[in-house]
Structure 1
Amino acid sequence: MSKAKVVTATIRLVIPAGQAKPSPPVGPALGQAGLKIMDFCKDFNAKTADFKSDVPVPVVITAFADKSFKWVMKTPPASYFIKKAAGMDSGSQRPGHQHVAAISLKHLHEIALVKQQDQPMVGLPSLVKSLMGTARSMGVRVVTRPEDAP
């Protein structure tokens, strides 16, 4: 009979692809849990080597009592995808009052398909609605057809 490992910590970080280093935020977070920082950095950088360097990658690291760990890579945040699809660098300073870009429902649907990997139990229409709210809070107008976007 195998014994289940005891979880001592769950660490959530967002690290740029291929740029995990023992410096903050990675080093202190893993060091507090007593994990081997360089093992994680090498593994993460190897798995994200083919990503663009500016892609933020959310990671969930589960630390166990025997100082071992496992980690799961998530899809980049919805705001990253919306900014890329809308061709903008940052959101509106006054969301709700000022629109800085527009994005079509088709784009949101494609983003929802990618984000569904992290949330397989959530339906696509719900994810699209959630993405519409995220876009609105960033000052991005959602249009029905790509031709309507300026």
Structure 2
Amino acid sequence: MGEIAIRLLVTGGKATPGPPIGPALSPFKINPGKVVAEINKLTKEYEGLPVPVEIIINPETKEYKIIVGLPPTSALLMKAAGVTRGPQRTVHEWVGNVSMKDVVEIAKKKIDSMPTSSLKAAVKSVLGTARATGIKVENKDPKEVTKEVDEGKWDHIINE
């Protein structure tokens, strides 16, 4: 029998042996407490954020490895803005603000999971998520900042 992958979304640094982890591991007779401790250690950097985790299990040997993904872009933006909730209305409601440096840092973290290899395109993608999440960039609508990126105004930060 080959390896089995269990994909879960956990709260960074705060996973518990209860659902969804415990029930997912019980058929394999693997100690969920040990797995949770390892997950919490690996996701501590993203404490409180939703983090995708994959547990690869060899059912015969009971060995496992944990692969930690990155939180969603919206969660990284909200953390950078210091907000815990997005807008409550569908019309643009601004709930926070981040710097362009924050946007570039998030783009650098997420670029490998984006369908682009260009940092500028990744930055524009993060700006789109910021707008959808209700987060301004440099106290401006991210749509306006996207135009500025196209004009090269932010190249000095993007190309650092």
Post-superposition Cα deviations, 1:69-95, rounded to whole Å, max 9, x if no partner, equal: 221112222122211222322111224
Partner of 1:45: 40
Higher relative contact order (CA 8 A, sep 6+): 1
Structure-1-length-normalised TM-score: 0.71
Partner of 1:148: none
Answer yes or no: is 1:126 the counterpart of 2:126: no
Could you list the runs of 5+ residues in structure 2 that have no partner in the other structure? 149-160
Answer yes or no: is 1:27 the counterpart of 2:26: no
Could you list the runs of 5+ residues in structure 1 that have no partner in the other structure? 146-150
- Whether contact under 8 Å (2:39, 2:66) holds in the other structure is no
Task: Give the alignment's Cα RMSD to 1 decimal.
Answer: 2.8
The Cα of 1:121 is off from its aligned counterpart by: 7.4
Tell me how far apart the structure 1 counterparts of residues 27 and 122 of structure 2 sit (CA, whole Å). Answer: 35
Answer yes or no: is 1:6 the counterpart of 2:19: no
Q: Which has the higher helix share?
A: 2
- The within-5 A match list for 1:1-150 is 6-8=2-4, 10-32=5-27, 34-48=29-43, 51=45, 53-66=47-60, 67-116=62-111, 118-119=112-113, 122-123=116-117, 124-142=119-137, 143=140, 144=145
Tell me how far apart the structure 2 counterparts of residues 24 and 53 of structure 1 sit (CA, whole Å). Answer: 18
Structure-2-length-normalised TM-score: 0.67
